[in-house]
Every structure is written in structure tokens, then in C-alpha cells.
Amino acid sequence: MNRAVFLYVGVLLTVLLSFTGLVSIPEKQLGGLQPLVDADGTQYPVPPTGLVAEGRGVYIADGCIYCHSQQVRPEGFGDDIERGWGTRRTVARDHIYDAPPLLGTMRTGPDLANIAVRQPNENWHFLHLYNPRITSPGSNMPPFPFLFRKVPVEVQVPHDALSFPPGWEVPGYAVVPTRRAKALVAYLTSLDHTHPVPEVPQ
């Protein structure tokens, strides 16, 4: 008796159907999305390059997505916009150059879709990565000391040394960001999805 064929058919058909619905059709709908070009020729979004792209790699390697999301929910759904995490919800067009997209699924830490707008200062980011408790008392973010080097201060403090608030300095040492830290901060200070898009009427 050949119930096996019936099983085979049903099993394949069900997964093919969902593949079509959840993957193929969205790809048809969104695959052709293009960036916007302003009157003055600026493109939005731009693919990450150089140090920003490197920094995206550091974000991926160190698993930042497991505590941080990068998606602003629509107005009236949750309070992302009221909280100041963005001026509009994020849309598919924001991510056309993101492979993989770093949407995240946890908010142990705040959403970062527009962190460049909230925290444009590089030194803030360096301090925060070196020891989150310096800038954010009570934070449970892990410190990333391995993204920095401690350099004994002889005559001159290196120009890119971190500038600590009083009480946090390491006596006799300057803390200098490595290339990975600089790349990561370049990436973080590029995260700005406030550019208006036609999908979200203002």
C-alpha cells in the first residue's frame, strides 16, 4: 500500500507553499527596491564602505545583535518613536544594502537604528565600549577592553587616547582604541535612518 506517496506529496507541498509565500513572493515584491536620490544628488541609503564596513564586521563578530535591535516600530505600536529611538519607523528600503540585516530580536540594550543621531560623539562611544558603566551607570552591557590597548604614558599622551571623566582614568596609562574599535565606532556613528522615505508619509 502506498500511503508513502501521499505523505511525500503533502510534506513537500506544504514546505514549498510556505517557501513561496514567505520568501519568494517578498523577494518579488521587495527585491527591486532602489535607493533614493535627493535633489542635490545625495543617495540614501548608501552601501557601507571602508572603515564603516569594517566596523559592521566587528559588530557581527562580537554578536551585538544579541542585545541590540535595529528596527524602529511604527508610531502607536510600542513607544519606539516616543522614546526618541527614531523619527519614523524603519522600512525595507533602509536595509537594501544590508547583508545580513542586523535587525536583532532582543532589547537588553536600546535600539540602535538611529544611534548616530542620539550619540554622535565618538569619545562617548569609545568610553561606552571600554566600560559601559562609565557613561551608563547600572548598565549590564559587557565591557570590551580587548578592543583597546593600554599604553604607558611617557612624555606625550597619544592623540587618539580616550578622554575619561574624572575618577575613571587609569593612572600612568593611556587607553588607545585599536583599529577594530575605531571601525566599530565609525559604523555606530553612521547608523542614521531618519532620512524621509515615501513609504512613511510625514
Partner 1 sequence: MNAAASFGAEPTVAWRAEVDASCAYPVVAFFVSAVFWLLFGTVLALVASIKMHTPGFLSGAEWLTFGRVRPVHLNTMIYGWGSMAGIGTLLWLQARLSRVRLPLQLPLVVGCALWNVGVAGGSIAILTGHGTSVEWLEFPYGWSFLFAGIFVVVMAASLMMFSARRVGHVYVSQWYLFGSVLWFPFLYVMANALIHGALARGVVQAATNWWFAHNVLGLWFTPIGLATVYYLLPKVLGRPIHSYYLSLLGFWTLALFYNWAGTHHLVGGPLPAWLITVGIVGSVMMFIPVTTVAVNHHMTMKGHFALLKVSPTLRFIVLGAMSYTVVSFQGSLQSLRTVNEVTHFTHYTIAHAHLGVYGFFTMVMFGAIYYIAPRLTGREWSSPRLIKVHFWGTALGMAVYWLGLTWGGILQGLAMDNPDVAFLDVVRHTLPYLWSRTFAGILLATGHVAFAVLAWRMFTLKGRRLPEPASAPSAVLAGGAG
Partner 2 sequence: MSPIYAVVWGTVALFGATAVYGLVWAIRTGQMRGFGRGALSIFDDEEPVGMVTDAFPGSIDASEDAGDRP
Residues 5-24 that bind partner 2 (CB under 8 A): 5-6, 8-10, 12-13, 16, 19-20, 24
Whichever of 3 and 159 has its CB closer to partner 2, that residue is 3
Whichever of 82 and 154 has its CB closer to partner 1, that residue is 82
Whichever of 6 and 77 has its CB closer to partner 2, that residue is 6
Residue recorded with cell 532589547: 107
Q: Which of 177, 199, 173 is nearest to 186 (CA)?
A: 177
9 contact, one of partner 1, partner 2, none, CB 5-8 Å limit per kind: partner 2
Residue recorded with cell 600612568: 172
Q: Smallest distance from the beta carbon of 3 to partner 2, in angstroms?
A: 5
Q: Smallest distance from the beta carbon of 39 to partner 1, in angstroms?
A: 25
**CA separation, residue 188 to residues 57, 141, 191 (Å):** 12, 16, 5
Asked if residue 158 lies in contact with residue 178, where contact means CB atoms within 8 angstroms, the answer is no
Question: Using the rule CB under 8 A, is 2 a contact of partner 2?
Answer: yes
Q: Which of 185, 19, 31, 193 is nearest to 103 (CA)?
A: 193
